[in-house]
Each structure stands twice: as structure tokens, then as C-alpha cells.
Structure 1
Amino acid sequence: MDHFLYKDGALHAEDVPVAEIAAAVGTPFYVYSTATLLRHFKLFDEALEGMDHLVCYAMKAASNQAILKTLGDAGAGMDVVSGGEYRRARAAGVPGERIVFSGVGKTAEEIELALTGGIRQFNVESEPEMEVLNAVALRLGKVAPITIRVNPDVDAKTHAKIATGKSENKFGIPISRAKEVYALAATMKGLQVIGIDVHIGSQLTDLQPYEDAYNKVAELTQELRAEGHTITRLDLGGGLGIPYHQSNEAPPLPSDYGALVKRTLGHLGCEIEIEPGRLIAGNAGLMVSEVIYVKEGEDREFLIIDGAMNDLIRPAMYDAHHDIIPVVEPAPGAEPATYDIVGPVCESGDTFAKHRDMPEMKAGELVAFRSAGAYGAVMSSEYNSRPLIPEVLVHGDQFAVIRRRPTFDEMINRDTIPEWL
């Protein structure tokens, strides 16, 4: 469920007409719903009720500080994967004890930043990283709390580019070597082992891969405890999918996921961390764009819009689907038209949809890309010297620009021409 609905024939974000935002900020732009963000966070929080737990929002999905503060003020932790994300989370008011640092390539500088600024734990991905973390902690006179990310070799049955739990992926330590690596960690005086981390991928639409992975984690927990390791926390990652096709069967509910966690891991008495990103932010955002031209091709019509692949790259990168709807509600029984929906960037890959049926559109009309809140603005770029597009947050009948569109001068003046030119 989201809070983007037609009211009196006009698409609204909560109680704000989307066309009103477009008139104020121009197109294209992203708009997020506060009510949807909070609802989805609370669904996960309630799903784990009765267990000691923390829901850490995976902020790589959408990292604007206004989104982070909205969730942080509601009690969310943050899962960060870079020093920049750590700084954003702290700037948004999230305390260090609610920040988990993940990622395969943490640098010594990023580790020092988190150790001095406060951190809940590091999710360690390799033995070389463990050695660097230990050295930095000892140099600073600190002890770094860690979990070790194990790769359970479970097929998440998701897109190959977002699968992370198979043996061929770069993430984690093979679960077959886990006991050996935990034994090594126990010898390092700058580290404190507190738990196990596992994350098998993104956009999962089936709970069975989770069950397979979590059963392996439960077995490993008992084996490590038998060898004298203190395992008090299980970080289970994120990855629950969202319905990008509104007509498709809905993915599993957070309540179903929570029941699975309790069934497979509840007997261990561990604190549970989960790191949802897409399911919290995905359906909480739209990208809104204006039709520039309707172009007649040889065997098709092209709907050319002012949004482009640099603004929303998922279709070009993942062949991802987004439902695209008009901002003005079509009349009942209106005949559909069929379009290839494309942007103005000089790449054939700048195509959002092919042979898409939707109401007949005209130049100057607005369309909205649904489920664009996750991996939209955060993956955008200035390709073709197109400025980054605004982000807007709605709260009831109010809206605010939370990232403005830079001017062309601001964008161009970041370049520096050498003296010899």
C-alpha cells in the first residue's frame, strides 16, 4: 500500500496534488510520501514484536537526510556501506549505536571514522578486512564490535545483479570456512565478536531462500557457541521484494517474514537485526515527468518525456519494470494507446518501456513512475550534462523540496580548467 491515489481525477501524494508540485519545482522530480515510509517501517518493526530486535534501514535505497531523519526519529537504525553514508546518517541525527557498517571494501579511513564517531557493529566481509579493522582499533585504543558475514550459497532466485548469497558472489565468507574465520577473529584483541551476518540478495519474492539461509545460520550459531564464541546478535540483511507490476501477485508480507524469523531463529535467544531498504522506500516514491513529444515511428509511437536514464537508471541497468500512469486520471473506458516510453538522452538504452499500453497522452501532460522511491535518486547522474532532479517530501497537505535542482552554472562551475589551457 502507498499514499499515491487519484482524488477528484488528479493524482495526489497524500493530500497534495502532484500537478501542484510540478508547477512549483518543474519536471522531472522525485516525490516521497512520509506516511508510506513510516507505515512500511512500522510493518517490519511490528513483524518482529516479541523479539529483541532493531530494524536498520538500508539507506543505499534512498539516502536523502529528510528520509533518514523521518525514519530515525521513528526509531530506525541505519545500515551504511560507505563513509559518506555514515556521515549522512549522523548528520540526520541517527546515533552511532544505531548504525551498522556493511560492505566489502571498507577503507582504514572509513573504519576510523566509524570507530571514533560511534558504531553499533561492523559486518566484516573478509579476513584482510578483519586484519585492517583490528589494526585500526588497536591504534585508537578501541575494541570494534563485529559480526562476520557468511555466504550460505543460497540462490535467492532474484536478478543476477542483485543476488549476494551464492558462492560466486563477492560478498561474505563461505559458510564452510566460518568456524576457521571466527577462530581467527577470537585471537585479535582489537575485535569483539558479537554475532553472525547474512544477506542473500534484493527483491526476493519467495520466503523459501530465507528459510534455507536462516536454517544454516541457526546451525552455525550452535556450532560456534559450542566452540566458545559469544553469539548474541544475528544480522539477517534485507531484500524482501515489492510489487513493481501492480497487476502481479504481491510478494510476501513483512508479517510472514517475521513469522519465518521467529520459527527458524527464535529459539536461539539472539537479538535480531534486519536491513530492509527497498520495501521501506520503493513504493514511497514516484518520479514525475512531462511529455515533450509524441513521435510517430515506422511501426510504433514514441512517448518522449523529459525524464531520462540518468534520472532513473533501473530500466536501463536491470531491464526493470515500473508502472507508468498519467497524473490526470483517465476517463472510464478510455481507449488505450501503445507507446515506447523513452527519454531524451542520446542512448538507445534510454528506454523505460516498450509496447506499453496506457491512456493516450499529449505533449505537456504529466506521467508518474510508480515504485521509484528506492534506487532512483541515489543512482542518478548528470550524464549529458543534465542537472540532478529535485527531491520532494510530502507530509499530509504539506510538501517541501529536500534537494533542489542545481543550476547549470553550479553544475558547470565544478569543473576546473588547468592553467595551461
Structure 2
Amino acid sequence: MASPLPLSAETPDPGFAELIAARPALSLHAQDGLLVEEVPLARIAEVVGTPTWVYSAGTLRRRARALKRALAEAGLRASIHYAVKANSNLAVLHVLAAEGLGADVVSEGELRAARAAGIPASAIVFSGVGKTERELRLALAEDIAQINLESVEEAEMLSALAASLGRTARVALRVNPDVDARTHAKITTGRSENKFGIGIDQAPALYARLAIMPGLAPVGLATHIGSQITSGMAAYRAAYARLAELAQELLARGLPVLHIDCGGGLGIPYRDEPAPLPEALAGAIKSTIGPLGLPVMLEPGRWIAGPAGVLLASVVLQKQTPSRRFLVLDAAMNDLIRPAMYEAWHGILPVSAAAAASPLSPADVVGPVCETGDTFTRGRALPSLHPGALVALLDAGGYGAVMSSTYNMRPLAAEVMVDGARFAVVRDRQSQEALLAGQRLPPWESD
């Protein structure tokens, strides 16, 4: 998250109409209130309850197509591998698979989810600094497109494993270009002090070694410099230029470089901050890596999924103290942790059209979890909302449900997909019984 805004921003927040206008899937009707595509959120709340994640299939398709179009118009031979960590719901993955997207996974669970959603193994890339032997065995058994190696030690482990199984793993070397993406410190990944990748000065020797290690077939280079990058293309250009120079050096040595994995990280405007368009990213790739004539791979996550989702919540109560007004929701930091973890800003809209037109006053929007950090925003201009009133927290489709927990023994929220005038539950609300399932007393305490 680039230059995180404090929970109480100094500049005026965008109004309800501005927030809706900037998000094509949303509309506000006088009688039905706030809609996602053609479905009133009030109807979803009535049928499914709250808190509930609501995803727009149309938004997923629209953004996937916009990125593909930008890359094609730049003349790039490109494949897109959606970063499953942003939102791993099977329905989300299935929609993107139908759009021709592959997957970038970082765990066995994500790999299995991608395959279950219909993404072919030949379109899956496995990233991450701590792949276990079990995970690598699965990747080899599935014969996925590429494993991105992040260390000498990982290369040695994979080589031994692949050779013992009589397999050959297609690998790319993830390079850390030591570029500051000017994003939140917790989600920057391309600086030398970060845990990710191989230092660019070490890469030539290790790549040459990969070419002779049993069980490995080096096919290219990879990088990823961070998440929620909104500061422009300078960091991308710097990283890609270094990667292009490295690729030229390897090719000059006669080493195989079949493609370049450019990673992801393109940011979205949560508030009203400027955010680069996919055309800008495509231009940065074209100007740096383009002259090599190599195919490229991209791994977007948040840019595709973030704007496709909202967190639908109900007001539990409105609490007034001598100094502050609190709106207490039935959603909490265990559902959407980004404000607590990153001081992230999310738009908050009343679902009722009448409420949206009512007088506004500052309110702190909080959850019921026993932490002061369970705060979505402070001093936000919102109407008076009675218990049971509905609100939607915007741009929650990426790094929302996937980062949820059951802290305070709160069940995981339901997930719903909207497609035009249709909606369906795509993940059931966790039951209270399921929270205790699998737990047991030790034998000496069970009497």
C-alpha cells in the first residue's frame, strides 16, 4: 500500500457519489439502495446475513480483459498468471480461468485450488521463499509451468528431489533488483534487505549453475518488487532494466532465457489517490524488456480482485460518548485486517439510499473485537445509522477474506458471487460448531 494514509486523513474524503462513480459495478437506486451489478446488497443481507463478502464477476472479467488488451496493444507476447494469494475463492479463480488467466501460487493449498478451479498445470507458476519438500513434490507431480527459485538452498533441494523422482523442473531465478517500490514497508519485496530472491550480482553465477544441476531446466528470470505500487513506473522501469541487462548477459553466455516473469504489484485507488493504468505498466515493460523480443509473464492479484469485492456488514449499535460517535459493526478486524495491519483506507457506503442522503457527521467505524486496533476508520463523515443498518466496505476483493481469522472465536464470513442479476453463495458461513471441530481435550483431562 503506497504512502499509507492515516486513519484520519488530512484532506477531504471523497463523497458517496464519487466513490460509486469510480466503481462501475456499484450503483445506488432510490428504492433498492446500493447494488453490486444488478443485485441489491440488502437482498443479499436478507438471504445470507452479515458479515458477507460480495464479489462481482463482471468486474473480474472487465479488469482481466483490460490488462490483456493493454499488453496486446503494446505488442507484447504476454501471459497473465493471477496471484491466487489476493483471493483464492474457487468461484473467483474459475471466472479468471475462463478469461484465459493462469495462476501464480505460493502454497500447496493455492496450487490445489487453482487446479480445482480449472486452471491447467501448464499455466501455473509457483513462487515463494519457503516451499516445502511436500509442496515441491506436488509441483513436480503436476508438471506445472514454472517454479521460481528464491535461493541457492532451494535450488539444491529441488535439484535433489527432482533427480530422485526422475523429473525435470522448469525453473526461473527470482532476482532481487534492490529497487525501492515506494510502497508500504510490510509489502515491499524488491529491496536488498527483503527476504525475497537472489541479489542481482549473484544471479549470473547461480543461473549458470542451474543449467548444469540435475533435474533442473532454467527457462528464465523473475522479479517482484512489491504490492500496491501507485507511485508511478519509475521503480518498475529500474527493476525491469536491470533484469533486461541480466538476461542479455546470460544469453551472451549461451544460457537459455526463454521468458521474463515481471511479477505484479500494480496498485489500485482505495480512496482517490492516483494509480497507474495497465497501459503504463505495459509501456514500462515494452521500453525495457521489449527490445529482447522475449515473451513476458505478469502476476497481478490486487489489481484484478481488489475492486471486485465489498464487505457487507450490519450496524450492531451506534454508541455516543461525550467526545466521539462510534458505529459498531458486526464485521471486525478478524474479517478485514488491512486497516489494523496497514492503516489502510477503505471507502464505506451506507446501503440505504435514504441514509446516503441524510446529514453526515464524524464517526469512528469499529468492530466488536476486544482490541483498540479493531478500527476501520476514525472521524469518517457518515449518517446516523440505526442497529441493523447495512454498510459496504469497498475494494475488499483482494487481501480480504484470504487474510481473515477466527480471532475472538468469530466464524469466517460467507462469500457470495454476483453475476448480472444473479447471486449465489460461493463459500458458506462458518458455523459455531465448525469453530470447535477438531479440538479435543487430552486423555488425562477427559474424565
Report the TM-score range of the alignment, normalised by the length of the smaller protein.
over 0.9
1:417 is aligned with what amino acid? Answer: L
Q: Name which of 141, 149, 157 aligns with 2:174.
A: 149
Q: Name which of 97, 100, 118 aligns with 1:75.
A: 100
Cα distance between partner residues in 2 of 1:331 and 1:64? 32
1:312 is aligned with what amino acid? Answer: L
1:74 is aligned with what amino acid? Answer: E
Q: Does 1:236 align with 2:262?
A: yes
Q: Does 1:297 align with 2:321?
A: yes
Cα distance between partner residues in 1 of 2:45 and 2:356? 25
State the SS of the aligned residue for 1:224. helix
How far 1:359 sits from its partner (Å)? 2.3
How far 1:332 sits from its partner (Å)? 7.8
Query: 1:31 matched to which residue of 2?
Result: 54
State the SS of the aligned residue for 2:172. strand
Q: Please give the per-residue CA displacement for 1:199-243, whole angstroms capped at 9, x wherever unaligned.
A: 000000111100111111111110111112111110000000001
* Contact in 2 for aligned 1:232/1:269 (Cα 8 Å): no
Q: Name which of 342, 352, 372 aligns with 1:348.
A: 372
Query: 1:381 matched to which residue of 2?
Result: 405
Q: Name which of 29, 40, 62 aligns with 1:7.
A: 29
Query: 1:266 matched to which residue of 2?
Result: 290
Range 301-310 or range 411-420, more displaced: 411-420
Range 375-384 or range 407-416, more displaced: 407-416
How far 1:397 sits from its partner (Å)? 0.4
Following TM superposition, where does structure 1 have runs of at least 4 consecutive aligned residues deviating by more than 6 angstroms? none
Q: Name which of 198, 202, 213 aligns with 2:239.
A: 213
Matches within 5 A, 1:82-231: 82-205=107-230, 206-231=232-257
State the SS of the aligned residue for 1:78. strand
How far 1:73 sits from its partner (Å)? 1.4
Cα distance between partner residues in 2 of 1:84 and 1:21? 29
* Contact in 2 for aligned 1:323/1:370 (Cα 8 Å): yes
Q: Does 1:288 align with 2:312?
A: yes
1:396 is aligned with what amino acid? Answer: G
How far 1:295 sits from its partner (Å)? 0.5
Q: Name which of 344, 352, 362 aligns with 2:386.
A: 362
The root-mean-square deviation of aligned C-alpha atoms, in Å, is 1.2
2:258 is aligned with what amino acid? Answer: T
Query: 1:408 matched to which residue of 2?
Result: 432
Q: Please give the per-residue CA displacement for 1:352-402, whole angstroms capped at 9, x wherever unaligned.
A: 101111222222110000000000000001111110000000010000100
Query: 2:342 matched to which residue of 1?
Result: 318
State the SS of the aligned residue for 1:307. coil
- With normalisation by structure 1, the TM-score equals 0.97
State the SS of the aligned residue for 1:60. helix
How far 1:335 sits from its partner (Å)? 2.2
Cα distance between partner residues in 1 of 2:143 and 2:186? 32
1:122 is aligned with what amino acid? Answer: I
Cα distance between partner residues in 2 of 1:249 and 1:65? 31
Change (3 A) 1:2 1:419: farther
Query: 1:21 matched to which residue of 2?
Result: 44
2:298 is aligned with what amino acid? Answer: I
Cα distance between partner residues in 1 of 2:269 and 2:114? 28
Q: Please give the per-residue CA displacement for 1:6-32, whole angstroms capped at 9, x wherever unaligned.
A: 123511010000000000010110000
1:354 is aligned with what amino acid? Answer: R
Cα distance between partner residues in 2 of 1:394 and 1:333? 26
Cα distance between partner residues in 2 of 1:361 and 1:400? 28
* Contact in 2 for aligned 1:337/1:357 (Cα 8 Å): yes
Q: Please give the per-residue CA displacement for 1:127-151, whole angstroms capped at 9, x wherever unaligned.
A: 0000011111111111110110000
Q: Please give the per-residue CA displacement for 1:69-94, whole angstroms capped at 9, x wherever unaligned.
A: 11011100000000111011111111
Query: 2:6 matched to which residue of 1?
Result: none
* Contact in 2 for aligned 1:2/1:284 (Cα 8 Å): no
Q: Which runs of 5+ in 1 are unaligned?
A: none
Q: Which runs of 5+ in 2 are unaligned?
A: 1-22
Cα distance between partner residues in 2 of 1:102 and 1:330? 47
How far 1:331 sits from its partner (Å)? 6.6
Cα distance between partner residues in 1 of 2:273 and 2:374? 28
